[in-house]
Structure 1
Amino acid sequence: MGHALCACSRGTVLIDNKRYLFIQKLGEGTLQNGLRKWILDPALLRGTLQDQEEAQREADMHRLFHHPNILHLVAYCLKEWGTKHEAWLLLPFYKKGTLWSEIERLKDKGNFLSEEQILWLLLGICRGLEAIHAKGYAHRDLKPTNILLGDEGQPVLMDLGSMNQARIHVEGSRQALTLQDWAAQRCTISYRAPELFTVQSHCVIDERTDVWSLGCVLYAMMFGEGPYDMVFQKGDSVALAVQNQLIIPQSSRHSSAMRQLLASMMMVDPQKRPHIPLLLSQLEALQPPTTGQHTTQI
């Protein structure tokens, strides 16, 4: 299975019978029960079967898709070092970083994404979500830091570990509380849909939680920060804030069509939000007639 590597050292590792050179750690995240997930390097599993199942599940979610707007899993394996386990997910590296890093880079210069760039990015994100929803899943943790920018600047959805069933039929208070607790652990608070803060005892949670999160992403692209980022940073209640209809700031940079698109995504009542196919048709109609990479590339 290859030999043990320190995360700070060079070396080789065998994944799916192919040998790769390990150069350096790029970043890490945390999954449930202390599972550490690394991008392009190993994740230490702290001994529980559930940790191993979580890592395997994320790999399985990646393998469902071969789509230009969803991050491709190159290889995966689970390694054993005595009593310890490491999950290796080999993923493509994109030099441009995340959508959030681009938003912050522009904001530091006093600039914002142009409307044409936003519409192009939004179209790619929607196409990725359409593929996820078509498989019967929802992303559940869509945010600018979970959207990479590919070599041509195209959006690429990543971090599929929070994906679960698109339509969840909640029948009873116990199931509602279980889903609510799950969302509190897995769905980033300032991008979490209102219906996931207080889950009703008898309801259907569907893929339009992603549409709400997409609206928050659109807001961040338009204004340089998420609509509830400051609420969270100030320590105020995001759960209360999302129950009120969002007030969209006035700006001459944005057309009325884009503002209407944002407003439709940010409806508190999920039944009033559009599904992704409708958003796609609206976005395609809004694309400039001669859109090309020379004008839209990030």
Structure 2
Amino acid sequence: MTALKSLVLNNVPVKMGQTLCICSRGSITIDNKKYYFVQKLDEGGFSYVDLVEGAKDGRFYALKKILCHDREGRQEAQTEMEMHQIFNHPNVLSLVAHTFVDRGGKTEAWLLLPYIRKGSLWSVLEKLRDKASSMPEKQILQIFRGICSGLKAIHEKGYAHRDLKPTNVLLDEDDRPLLMDLGSMNRARIEVRGTREAMTIQDWAAQRCTISYRAPELFNVESHCIIDERTDIWSLGCVLYCMMILEGPYDMVFQKGDSVALAVQNPVTIPQSCSYSEGLQMLLSSIMVSNPQERPNINWVLDQVQDLQTCSPNTQTNMV
């Protein structure tokens, strides 16, 4: 996928009543507001992100562009836009503006999002790992509590994120986490009736839910069951593990080519070298329960985090 280096396109038809103009100065206009292209930030399979600057406010924004190859792709992008608009929460990334751009017979969905300079939780953890350092327990609890708060807001609206992982959590300068990439979100409670429905959900999960953070019940979906928001609780546990150990609990299993589906059926193993408090380790073990019926809900997890914060050590922990 090539970057929009010059952004020299004119008379681009736009949907949803929004005005868009691209001129030779490398600017775009969405909702009658002009933004200047700065640089490319990221690129994925079907989307890429540009850094743009507001002409009037001078603020930086992340412009996510999703390639919609067909009607289904367009509907998925529309759903992602709608998911952003449902939530107004300090721990869920907001949507500044959005539009669809039709160009050369192809459609792109454009999502204008706040630019979070510090980047993802994963990038912060990578830097710690490179320095052979670790994150203080107090900081882990602060960030984790924010993640839980954002997830609670999503669950209370009757939805599940379905792809929670450190790369989908942004951190601002005050370590406030913001849940992002809402494209895999759907209704929290899914009733599975029959083998065909089970296979449909299993195939969907294989495409949309990152394998090393995917809940056990999504690997082999039973023909008659209910999938609910506790898939997120499992992923939440994987995120907590990653904050403590600086890698996901099943990252190495996947990298070695071993079966993640088999590995997630066993209790999570916390390395003996882990020097975080017994309370934090117990919380992790309580979250990462293979049987979803025995897994706690987000309210319970949030209560435990708040309790741990009242007695958490304020000093830097030893090396993990």
- Given the two structures, how large is their TM-score scaled by the length of structure 1? 0.91
Hey, which bits of structure 1, 4+ residues long, moved more than 4 A?
A: 289-292
Distance in 2 (alpha carbons) for counterparts of 1:170 and 1:57: 22
String of CA shifts for 1:86-110, please: whole Å, max 9, x gaps. 2111111111111111111011111
Q: CA deviation at 1:12?
A: 1.4
Q: CA deviation at 1:219?
A: 0.5
Percentage of pairs with the same residue: 58
**Is residue 2 of structure 1 aligned with residue 24 of structure 2?**
no
Say if 1:44 and 1:86, in contact at 8 Å, map to a contact too: yes
Distance in 2 (alpha carbons) for counterparts of 1:28 and 1:265: 32
Distance in 1 (alpha carbons) for counterparts of 2:68 and 2:77: 12
String of CA shifts for 1:149-172, please: whole Å, max 9, x gaps. 013111110000000110111110
Say if 1:138 and 1:164, in contact at 8 Å, map to a contact too: yes
Say if 1:167 and 1:206, in contact at 8 Å, map to a contact too: yes
Query: Of 255, 264, 279, which aligns to 1:242?
Result: 264
String of CA shifts for 1:124-177, please: whole Å, max 9, x gaps. 000000000001000000000000001311111000000011011111000000
Say if 1:168 and 1:204, in contact at 8 Å, map to a contact too: yes
Q: Measured at CA, do residues 290 and 265 of structure 1 come closer, stay the same or move farther in structure 2, by a change above 3 Å?
A: closer
1:29 matched residue in structure 2:
44
2:74 matched residue in structure 1:
52
Q: Measured at CA, do residues 37 and 57 of structure 1 come closer, stay the same or move farther in structure 2, by a change above 3 Å?
A: farther
Say if 2:22 and 2:29, in contact at 8 Å, map to a contact too: no
Distance in 1 (alpha carbons) for counterparts of 2:130 and 2:313: 27
String of CA shifts for 1:176-203, please: whole Å, max 9, x gaps. 0000000000000000000000000011
String of CA shifts for 1:250-274, please: whole Å, max 9, x gaps. 2452111111100011111011111
Q: CA deviation at 1:220?
A: 0.5
> Gapped runs of 5+ residues in structure 1?
none
> Gapped runs of 5+ residues in structure 2?
1-18, 51-61
Q: Measured at CA, do residues 42 and 85 of structure 1 come closer, stay the same or move farther in structure 2, by a change above 3 Å?
A: farther
Distance in 2 (alpha carbons) for counterparts of 1:3 and 1:81: 12
CA root-mean-square deviation? 2.0
Distance in 2 (alpha carbons) for counterparts of 1:10 and 1:183: 42
Query: Of 225, 233, 239, which aligns to 1:203?
Result: 225
Secondary structure of the corresponding residue to residue 26 of structure 1: strand
Q: How does 1:57-136 map to 2 (within 5 A)?
A: 57-136=79-158
Say if 2:20 and 2:32, in contact at 8 Å, map to a contact too: no
For 1:107, the aligned partner's letter is R
- Given the two structures, how large is their TM-score scaled by the length of structure 2? 0.85
1:38 matched residue in structure 2:
49
